[in-house]
Amino acid sequence: MQIERGTTALYVSSNDDPFIRSRLQKLYQDTDSAINNLSKWISIGSKEFFQVV
């Protein structure tokens, strides 16, 4: 997610660079895939946050 965030900032400042845009679209897919492969998010105390249902 950090790489996606940094690349998003780079893209915004790049004035719509097509190379950065294509890289960013790939990073969005990679981030979505990684999140979908998580069984659940971490527990904090006795409550679970962001649990995939």
Mean of the per-residue pLDDT values of the chain: 84
Structure tokens at 43: 């527990």
* Ranges of H-type helices in the chain: 2-13, 18-36
| Position 36 confidence tier, pLDDT thresholds 50, 70, 90 | confident
Residue 18, domain member (yes or no): yes
List the domain range (segments joined by +) for residue 19. 2-48
Residue 44 pLDDT: 64
User: Can you give the pTM of this predicted structure?
Assistant: 0.64
Task: Reduce the DSSP state of residue 24 to 3 states and report it.
Answer: helix
Total tally of structural domains belonging to the chain? 1
Residue 16 lies in a domain: yes
Residue 53 lies in a domain: no
Whether 38 is in a domain gets the answer yes
Report if residue 29 sits inside a domain. Answer: yes
- The 10s digit of each residue's pLDDT in 10-35 is 999 999 999 999 999 999 999 999 88
